[in-house]
Chains A and B, each alone.
Chain A
Amino acid sequence: MIKVKNISKEFDGSPILKGISTFFEKGKTNLIIGQSGSGKTVFLKCLLGLFETNSGQIFFENSPINLMTTKERTVLRQEIGMVFQGSALFDSMTVEENIMFPMQMFTKKDDDEVRERANQAIKRVNLINANEKYPDEISGGMKKRVAIARSIVMNPKYLFCDEPNSGLDPKTAILIDNLIQEITEEYNITTVINTHDMNSVMEIGEKIVFLLNGKKAWEGSNKDIFNTDNEAVSNFVYSSDLFKKVRKMYLEKK
């Protein structure tokens, strides 16, 4: 579980995050949603420790990240898997080498064991015949799968995803969403996903935190979002006519 207590972050005097408090549960897909510029990516990078917060605390299983020593942080980071928006695969390495990389860096396993574990991860994300290919030789959806495989290969306790289905067609986006949800349940990890994809919200949003201008404006689940009377979140989630109709039908049926 990750707990966030009243964190704030500013850049050059302008506040980006304003006193956010929330928690992300283990074994659930937790979503951070909000408009572009609402502070989602900064929030995620604060959780990852890539940005230092100006105030407040972030707890990973009751250990505050800002009070951790460099060594403790290094250990924590080895328990974190991250899927970046652009996948962030290493260009100079093949798919298999990309997935083997974290194990080569942090384990004492021999090459055969590392390769075997990497291939298990490759199989888990349903990547076929891509081991020897370089990132620029595979599609966007495959890149995301490689990034997910790389992030789970060390059996992380926490999985962070920054817009995992941006730039993907709707079918592939749903496949990636489902894959992340399956992995979350299977590995019993705390997953935090940064997204503004409404399909993801409806499909896998077991816990949703809505940010507006750097503040937490609403939180709940994908079921709560149909009944919410919070105008800001309704305007954001049901901005398209299709979703407005879906909500209307759902409420009428109820």
Chain B
Amino acid sequence: MKWIAKYFNLILVIVLFTSCSSDDSNTIDEEKPTISINYTEGFPQVCEQLLKGETYSFKAQVADNKALASYSLDLHHNFDHHTHDDQGETCDLEPIKGAVNPFIYMENFEIEGGLTTYEINISITIPDDIDIGDYHCSYSVTDETGWQSRTSIDVKIID
């Protein structure tokens, strides 16, 4: 008992210290949204060839456990082979070349109404005066919490 008396202060502090680690009562969103082009209408698919002057509907399916917030689509050239997609398949890339007038598409959109599933559907006309070759197409989506998911696809623009 003498021992307890001697170390009472220490024990007290340890008990206080360990009891401090309380649990979270409110729930926080720990899930990222998801994004996929792996369904029939998903567009573009890996190694898709896009024709100049044509109009395409870029489609991807996004979902979240709570509420979706925004999405974006970015099309840029990969003439220098600086990156590759994350679809698991590899396309044959054309020889490395410089850019003269590459196609750049960068747009952001909001998803209103706190939806948990949504189909991205963006209509893009490929201009006639741009460089043909390897392009990179990336989708990204955020939820209301600020979690983000991305996916990217290698495509080609041809004459």
Same assembly: no
